[in-house]
Amino acid sequence: MTAVGDISGTTTDRRAVISLLRRLRSPEGQSNPQPVWDRLRALGDVVPAPWGGYLVTGYDACNQVLRGRNWLVPDFAWQERQPNPERWQAPAVEAMSRALFRLNAPTHTCQRRSLGNLFDRNTLDSLAPRIAEHARRIVDELAERIRDGGEADFVTVVGDQLPVLTVGEWLDIPAHHHAHILDFTHRQVHSQELLPTKSELAVSTQATVEMREFFTALIAERRAHPGDDVISDWIRYWDEQLPDDPAAADRTVYDLVMFITIASLETSATLMATAVWFLTRDEDQWQWLRRHPEHVDDAVEEALRYDPPVHINTRIAADDTVLAGTPVAKDQMVHVMYGAAAHDPRRNENPEHFDILRGGSHMTFGGGIHYCLGAALARLEGRTLLTELLNRFVTLRPVSAPVYAPRMVFRRVTSLKVTTDDDPAAPPAPRPVTEDAAGPPAGRCPVHRAQHP
């Protein structure tokens, strides 16, 4: 295999890490990454990565990197200082290197300030009724498809749809473009893998061309016909900031619209799919949550902790430093492993249990100055969708385990077949309300999960 992604190492430790990372990418590792996270964490809080730099596995060490002033994101200036800058010159990688999450101060500060608090209380309140309408319609469609075919794919009918309907409407992008946006987003994110293969990069490059064409035309159209919408506001803002350089204003608006769209879709879709999987693989959990809708937010939070949609994020050392006892030289890369951190038993007891009432710690939305700008929207979508599903289905069961794309950085569930035992002719049943003395049933551990479907 002539893969850029072939991992080779020299020391014993590195060989152990290589084999663990291969496992993480495999179908087995994708469906249950926890044993790999545990073994990596057992090697240390900071583990040498096979390609240089480090994997950061412990909660406190990850937190320190995300929030510390000593850490930056790997921007263009850093890429140019590397012995092999061509590694970052693929068009798909280059496009993402211009995006907000790969900018350091002062450019990051300027762009982030221009966005403000994207999803403040007023904005969320204005979006909520439409999100609820979309959720109701696609959940109805799910029920209809199950009625007609005995089962339906939650991901294609619901999980992928709610985020694109929400963000598409927020950005005023007509619905007939949504399928195209989803399609190039799924292909573009390969470029964000730690070591994408040549074929992955080729797929990603083609997606980047389509993405550029789409968003460039969208911004040109909005510039020609400005309105009372988010993108027109951003154009006005950047025209004021860069009065002598409209091309630079357009480029900045392009980078923002493109990245925010991409950042919002797969991540939120993965949250929907994993939350539904964790809650339906054990019928008792579903029934408990039906009786306790006041804990829907807690269920979303535990799904975010249990299986973060983004597994890994990268920072570089701004200076020579020491991280959890390991010296890290200036410019060296460290990869923050969100999932491994959230399953660190020193932070979350019995981390392998999916426990709705845990109130656990996670850093699924990152931390520090790059903290996710869409966290509140993603939580609102999760809450709205789960509420709708719990209202609609007395029973909702997976037909088989979810199928995952073989990725290490951006997680993606490609399919989750579900069914119901509800009477298709009966109207949605009201939820029973009881006073349970006990909390929700304990989630199944991975061993049990392998036996249930």
For the beta carbon of residue 234, count every other beta carbon within 10 angstroms.
22
Confirm or reject binding of residue 112 to ligand HEM (CB under 6 A).
yes
Binding segment toward ligand HEM, per CB under 6 A, in 195-203, 259-267, 273-281, 408-416:
259-267
Angle, in degrees to the nearest 10, between helices 198-224 and 230-241: 90
Binding segment toward ligand HEM, per CB under 6 A, in 140-148, 260-268, 292-300, 342-350:
260-268
Confirm or reject binding of residue 378 to ligand HEM (CB under 6 A).
yes
Q: Which of 9, 53, 58, 366 is close enough to bind ligand HEM by CB under 6 A?
A: 366
Nearer to ligand HEM, 208 or 267 (CB): 267
Q: Which of 159, 339, 374, 402 is close enough to bind ligand HEM by CB under 6 A?
A: 374
Give the whole-angstrom CA distance, residue 92 versus residue 77.
18
Binding segment toward ligand HEM, per CB under 6 A, in 182-190, 192-200, 240-248, 262-270:
262-270
Residue 123 beta carbon to ligand HEM: minimum distance, rounded to whole angstroms: 11
Residue 313 beta carbon to ligand HEM: minimum distance, rounded to whole angstroms: 5
One symbol per residue from 336 to 365: x for binding ligand HEM (CB under 6 A), - otherwise; what is it? Answer: ----------------------------xx
Confirm or reject binding of residue 100 to ligand HEM (CB under 6 A).
yes
Q: Which of 311, 343, 362, 370 is close enough to bind ligand HEM by CB under 6 A?
A: 370
Confirm or reject binding of residue 271 to ligand HEM (CB under 6 A).
yes
Confirm or reject binding of residue 207 to ligand HEM (CB under 6 A).
no
Q: Which residues contact ligand HEM by CB under 6 A?
A: 66, 100-101, 112, 167, 260, 263-264, 267-268, 271, 309-310, 313, 364-368, 370-374, 377-378
